[in-house]
Structure 1
Amino acid sequence: MAALTWVLIALAIWHFTIFVPDRFWGGIVGGFVFSMIGGVLGGWLLSGLSMPSRADTDVVTVLLGIPGTLVALTALWFYGARKEAQEEAAAAAAGRA
């Protein structure tokens, strides 16, 4: 049950990526995939490498998915922005040669 809550909180946060420029590596679909992975991985790590049962799932368990999602989306955005800048620089250098 905890993994479901982490996926759902990651999905909710992913919806807000429409407010930032689309520089995610893999586009918006890449952002979706990595937000899901980040949410589950972050929640799992912050819960002490254990998967809380249905009875142990509460609001705090849901909130554990937020940091992982934000870290994954931020890292993916910066990686995509860097890759895009490198491709533009390479295209500009090829145009001059």
Structure 2
Amino acid sequence: MAALVWVMVGLALWHFTVFLPDNFYGGIVGAFCGALLGSFLFGLIVNLGTIPGESGTDLWTGVEAIPGTLIGLGIMWWLGVRKMAAEAPRVAAA
């Protein structure tokens, strides 16, 4: 049950990426993947590799996913900016 909460929090926060410039690696789909993977993996790390069941899921389960989502989005943003910089045309010095 906690995995569902983590992924849904990641999905909810991903919706706010429409207000950012499209610098994510893979565009909006890359941001989607980064948000979901980040929230899920961070939730696993916080819970030491276990996924709490229904009785172990509470409000803090959703809060656990927020840093992971932001980290995942940040990594995808960094990869996208790096790719854009590599593809930028080089201007020769005169």
TM-score, normalization by structure 2: 0.91
Q: Any residues of structure 2 matched to 1:33-72 within 5 Å, and which? A: 33-72=33-72
Q: Which is helix-richer, 1 or 2?
A: 1
After the TM superposition, list the runs of 4 or more consecutive aligned residues in structure 1 that deviate by more than 6 angstroms. Answer: none
Residues 14-50 of structure 1: CA distance to partner in whole angstroms, max 9, x if unpaired? Answer: 0010111110000000110121111100111112221
2:22 maps to 1:22: yes
8 Å CA contact 1:31–1:76 kept in 2: the answer is yes
Aligned partner of 1:8: which letter? M
SS of the residue aligned with 1:70?
A: helix
Sequence identity percentage: 44
Structure 1 vs Structure 2 CA RMSD: 1.5
How far apart are the structure 1 equivalents of 2:2 and 2:81? Answer: 32
Aligned pair count reads 93
Structure 2 counterpart of 1:73: 73
8 Å CA contact 1:47–1:64 kept in 2: the answer is no
